[in-house]
């Protein structure tokens, strides 16, 4: 780890109540992600990776443990502060794109900018700049229903980048795309990271995981492996994790 | 942008939105009608009482004007006292009675008002002129039709008629010089007016120096209640009623109308409220995922609530003008039915359109529209984001 830590997670536990029973989704996870890193969280379904992503994205609260993003504790924020934090510091990309169907591509990108209080002309210029960045500059007036899955996901990425977030989170971003479009998306994420965006993706997609600089393997709510991928000599080296509580 | 989303949400399911708007419009029409009914008759009566500018009415003690057949004796001195008051502009005596018109068949009977034509406030001239000479009379359309005469004709009229002996008393030959519309009488009620001196003479000694009612017009700016109290003190043999008091009497008599209007108006408001709540709830439930995504990307809760409230308010605002138009049409139709009720003055309206009533109805609608959206919007904006997104992904 060479950069400043953007994500710091300590002893994170998340349990769900199923009637009288408590079902653990995360069993004490500890790790950090440095600024400029590109990390992929992989593992079988139900291993807790999406739960972890939700906690990093401040759309859920842990049962115990702490989460700090860009130096700010976010695990116990009230609703208003959590919303403000998501707006300005987090970018979210979902498997199903989740664009607002009533809005054009440009308006979808403008939504978080408008929410952040950016004035109309500046907002439009920024939205167009982002659409250009993801290769959709000429599709600004199209509504989601007029765009392909890959194009919709590009708009979703542009929307996620709108307020220059400290952290971009993506939940199975290639899950709904065909192989060719998925490959384009992988290339886009690599480019985003090269351009300085810190990226954490949750994925089943091996190609997407391989493209990441770091792969965190999860199973049964714990991190079982954490490796850094050296693209130069394709050497895999340990990420220097603090040992998980259950492994001690 | 939120307005775009709100409109898009309404347009997305056009049929449902149109049906909801129609439903709310019907509810709004009912609400407007009930608001109009609750105050219409009173305001209509008020307008009627003030239409000729008379603010005080003197009737036999303990009675309301024309509530009984009682009369006031000593009319000339009473009128002299009234007219001597500095605040009084005019005093109009009225003697009520009946006139019988012998025809080829049965006699035609009409209500008769003895008046001083120069100051009378009981009728409006439609054609011809005032009955200034002692042998002149004016009548309304119903009387003209019943007696089969025209303006300018001469008719025989009698103050008394014995149906068993078929004999008339107090007969006179009178000339029909005017066609009039009586302000306080029903449209189909036969009625005539003639100089009070003529009617007294026809009635005989029983009505000498008597009147049924005196109406008093005050100078502009005069204190009506003060003058009423002064006349009441000066003239203990009469009851002096101001327009405000008469309206109080009307209010008491019409209280059940108002209660009915309030109940039906409330019901229609609740129906409209539930209709919008249902529509907004269904619409919001379909967009739970969309709302969760908006929350996830940082859209504030109150902004989402605002967007949904905008939808419900827009529904109400679109439905309101339709409802108001429909309400006016139905009010006119209902009024025409109710106005046929026997004995009601022609000018009384049950449903009187007043801008204030329309604004009240519109205000109630918009407020209920906003309230209708509060619960579904707050509920949807408060759902746990992560759980909702997971359910949406699974669904």
Chain A CB contacts of B385 under 8 Å are 54, 59-60
> What's the whole-number mean pLDDT along residues B356-370?
82
Say whether pLDDT at A28 is over 90: yes
Q: Which residue of B has its CA nearest to A120?
A: B1
> What's the whole-number mean pLDDT along residues B20-48?
84
Residue B316 makes CB contacts below 8 A (sequence gap 6+) with B24, B272, B276, B365, B366, B368, B369, B370, B372
Element (H, E) at A31: strand A21-34
Nearest to B53 by CA among B85, B86, B91: B91
Q: How confident is the model at residue B205 (pLDDT cuts 50, 70, 90)?
A: confident
Chain A CB contacts of B296 under 8 Å are 57, 59, 86, 92, 94
Say whether pLDDT at A221 is over 90: yes
Residue B150: strand pairing partners: none
Which of B12, B296, B392 has its CB closest to that of A86?
B296
Residue A245 makes CB contacts below 8 A (sequence gap 6+) with A11, A28, A30
Token match 């043999």: residue? B237
Report domain extents, chain B: 2-48+253-394, 62-236
- Partner A contacted by B386 (CB < 8 A): yes
- Determine, for residues A59 and B296 on separate chains, whether the beta-carbon distance falls below 8 Å: yes
Q: What is the mean pLDDT of chain A?
A: 88
- Determine, for residues B293 and A98 on separate chains, whether the beta-carbon distance falls below 8 Å: yes
Three-state DSSP at B125 gives: strand
Burial class (CB in 10 A: 0-12, 13-18, 19+), B355: exposed
Per-residue pLDDT of A129-160, as tens digits, reads 999 999 998 899 999 999 999 999 999 999 99
- Partner B contacted by A164 (CB < 8 A): no
The DSSP secondary structure of A45-104, one letter per residue, reads TTSSHHHHHHHHTTSS--SEEEEEETTEE-TT--HHHHHHHHHHHEEEE-TT----TTS-
Q: Where would I find the H helices in B57-205?
A: 75-83, 141-147, 196-203
- Determine, for residues A83 and B295 on separate chains, whether the beta-carbon distance falls below 8 Å: yes
Which of A98, A102, A112 has its CB closest to that of B298?
A112
On whether the CB atoms of residues B275 and B27 are closer than 8 A, the answer is: yes
DSSP A163: T
User: Does residue A140 fall inside a structural domain?
Assistant: no
Q: For residues A240 and A221, give the distance between their C-alpha atoms in angstroms, rounded to a whole number.
A: 19
- Determine, for residues A160 and B9 on separate chains, whether the beta-carbon distance falls below 8 Å: no
Three-state DSSP at B212 gives: coil
> What's the whole-number mean pLDDT along residues B126-142?
94
State percent of chain B over pLDDT 70.
Answer: 99
Element (H, E) at B47: helix B14-50
- Determine, for residues B9 and A87 on separate chains, whether the beta-carbon distance falls below 8 Å: no
Chain B CB contacts of A110 under 8 Å are 1
Q: For residues A187 and A61, give the distance between their C-alpha atoms in angstroms, rounded to a whole number.
A: 32
Q: How confident is the model at residue A3 (pLDDT cuts 50, 70, 90)?
A: low
User: Does residue A229 fall inside a structural domain?
Assistant: yes
- Strands (DSSP E) contained in chain B are 56-60, 72-73, 88-101, 108-115, 123-128, 136-139, 154-162, 167-182, 191-195, 210-211, 213-218, 238-242
Which of A90, A95, A110 has its CB closest to that of B1?
A110
- Partner B contacted by A176 (CB < 8 A): no
Report the pLDDT value the prediction gives residue B214, as an integer from 0 to 100.
92
> What's the whole-number mean pLDDT along residues A212-217?
93
Q: What is the 3-state secondary structure (H, E, C) of B50-84?
A: HCCCCCEEEEECCCCCCCCCCCEECHHHHHHHHHC
- Partner B contacted by A94 (CB < 8 A): yes
Q: Which residue of A has its CA nearest to B291?
A: A100
Per-residue pLDDT of B39-95, as tens digits, reads 777 788 888 888 778 899 999 888 777 677 788 888 999 999 999 999 999 999 999
Query: How many domains is chain A partitioned into structurally?
Result: 1
Range of the domain at A208: 5-99+166-247
Chain A CB contacts of B303 under 8 Å are 115
- Determine, for residues A159 and B297 on separate chains, whether the beta-carbon distance falls below 8 Å: yes
Q: For residues B297 and B246, give the distance between their C-alpha atoms in angstroms, rounded to a whole number.
A: 66
- Determine, for residues A80 and B300 on separate chains, whether the beta-carbon distance falls below 8 Å: yes
Q: For residues B105 and A196, give the distance between their C-alpha atoms in angstroms, rounded to a whole number.
A: 110
Chain A CB contacts of B384 under 8 Å are 60
Q: For residues B8 and B279, give the distance between their C-alpha atoms in angstroms, rounded to a whole number.
A: 15
Which of B8, B297, B390 has its CB closest to that of A112?
B297
Say whether pLDDT at A233 is over 50: no
Say whether pLDDT at A125 is over 90: yes
Which of A50, A57, A111 has its CB closest to that of B299?
A111
Q: For residues A91 and A84, give the distance between their C-alpha atoms in angstroms, rounded to a whole number.
A: 12
Residue A69: strand pairing partners: A7, A72
Say which residue, A158 or B313, is predicted with more confidence. A158
User: Does residue A149 fall inside a structural domain?
Assistant: no
Q: Residue A241 is part of a domain; what is its CATH number?
A: 3.40.50.300
| A-contacting residues in B 272-331 (Cβ below 8 Å) | 289-290, 293-301, 303
Which of B1, B384, B386 has its CB closest to that of A107?
B1
Say which residue, B130 or B315, is predicted with more confidence. B130
Which of A54, A103, A115 has its CB closest to that of B4?
A103
- Determine, for residues A114 and B8 on separate chains, whether the beta-carbon distance falls below 8 Å: no
> What's the whole-number mean pLDDT along residues A173-191?
89
Axis crossing angle, helix B255-286 with helix B301-338, rounded to the nearest 10: 140
Say whether pLDDT at B13 is over 70: yes
B69 Ramachandran zone, left/alpha/beta (phi>0; psi -120 to 50): alpha
Per DSSP, chain B holds a count of helices (H) and strands (E) of 12, 12
Report the pLDDT value the prediction gives residue B393, as an integer from 0 to 100.
65
Nearest to A229 by CA among A72, A37, A66: A37
Which of A59, A102, A159 has its CB closest to that of B5?
A102
- Partner B contacted by A77 (CB < 8 A): no
- Report ipTM for this prediction: 0.88
Q: How confident is the model at residue A237 (pLDDT cuts 50, 70, 90)?
A: very low
B373 to chain A nearest CA, in Å?
20
Tally of CA atoms within 13 A in the half-sphere of B373 that contains its CB: 24
Chain B CB contacts of A95 under 8 Å are 393
């Amino acid at each position: 780890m060479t950069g400043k830590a953007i994500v710091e997670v300590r002893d994170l536990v998340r349990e769900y109540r199923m009637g009288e029973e408590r079902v653990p989704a995360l069993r004490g996870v500890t790790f950090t992600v440095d600024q400029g890193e590109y990390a992929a969280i992989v593992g079988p379904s139900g291993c807790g990776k999406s739960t972890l992503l939700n906690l990093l994205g401040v759309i859920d609260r842990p049962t115990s443990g702490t989460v700090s993003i860009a130096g700010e504790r976010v695990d116990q924020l009230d609703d208003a502060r959590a919303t403000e934090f998501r707006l300005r510091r987090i970018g979210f990309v979902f498997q199903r794109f989740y664009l607002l169907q009533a809005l054009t591509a440009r308006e979808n990108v403008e939504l978080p900018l408008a929410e952040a209080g950016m004035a109309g002309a500046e907002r439009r210029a920024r939205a167009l700049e982002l659409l250009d960045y993801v290769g959709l500059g000429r599709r600004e007036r199209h509504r989601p229903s007029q765009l392909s899955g890959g194009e919709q996901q590009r708009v979703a990425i542009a929307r996620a980048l709108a307020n220059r977030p400290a952290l971009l989170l993506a939940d199975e971003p290639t899950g709904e795309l065909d192989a060719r479009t998925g490959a384009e998306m992988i290339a886009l994420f690599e480019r985003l990271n090269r351009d300085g965006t810190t990226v954490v993706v949750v994925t089943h997609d091996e190609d997407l995981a391989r493209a990441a600089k770091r792969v965190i393997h999860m199973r049964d709510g714990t991190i079982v492996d954490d490796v850094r991928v050296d693209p130069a000599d394709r050497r895999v080296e340990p990420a220097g994790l603090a040992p998980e509580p259950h492994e001690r | 942008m939120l307005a775009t989303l709100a409109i898009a949400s309404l347009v997305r399911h056009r049929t449902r939105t149109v049906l909801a708007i129609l439903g709310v419009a019907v509810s709004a029409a009912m609400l407007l009608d009930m608001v109009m009914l609750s105050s219409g008759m009173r305001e209509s009566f008020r307008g009627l009482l003030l239409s000729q500018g008379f603010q005080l009415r003197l009737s036999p003690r303990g009675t309301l004007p024309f509530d009984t057949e009682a009369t006031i004796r000593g009319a000339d001195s009473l009128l002299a006292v009234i007219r001597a008051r500095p605040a009084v502009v005019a005093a109009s005596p009225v003697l009520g009675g009946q006139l019988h018109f012998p025809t080829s068949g049965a006699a035609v009977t009409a209500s008769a008002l003895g008046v001083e034509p120069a100051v009378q406030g009981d009728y409006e001239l439609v054609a011809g002129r005032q009955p200034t000479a002692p042998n002149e009379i004016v009548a309304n359309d119903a009387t003209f039709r019943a007696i089969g005469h025209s303006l300018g004709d001469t008719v025989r009229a009698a103050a008394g008629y014995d149906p068993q002996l078929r004999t008339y008393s107090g007969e006179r030959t009178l000339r029909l010089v005017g066609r009039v519309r009586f302000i306080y009488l029903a449209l189909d009620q036969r009625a005539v007016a003639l100089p009070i001196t003529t009617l007294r003479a026809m009635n005989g000694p029983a009505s000498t120096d008597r009147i049924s009612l005196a109406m008093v017009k005050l100078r502009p700016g005069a204190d009506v209640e003060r003058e009423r109290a002064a006349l009441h003190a000066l003239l203990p043999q009469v009851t002096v009623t101001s327009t405000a008091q008469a309206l109080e009497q009307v209010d008491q008599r019409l209280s059940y109308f108002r209660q009915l209007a309030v109940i039906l108006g409330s019901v229609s408001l609740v129906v409209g409220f539930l209709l919008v709540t249902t529509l907004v709830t269904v619409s919001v439930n379909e967009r739970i995922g969309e709302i969760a995504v908006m929350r996830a990307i940082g859209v504030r809760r109150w902004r989402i609530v605002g967007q949904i409230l905008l939808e419900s308010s827009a529904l109400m605002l679109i439905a309101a003008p339709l409802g108001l138009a429909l309400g006016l049409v139905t009010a006119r139709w209902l009024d025409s039915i109710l106005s046929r009720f026997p004995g009601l003055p022609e000018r009384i309206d049950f449903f009187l359109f007043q801008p204030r009533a329309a604004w009240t109805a519109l205000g109630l609608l918009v407020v209920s529209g906003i309230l209708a959206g509060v619960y579904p919007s707050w509920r949807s904006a408060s759902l746990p984001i992560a759980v909702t997104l997971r359910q949406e992904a699974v669904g």
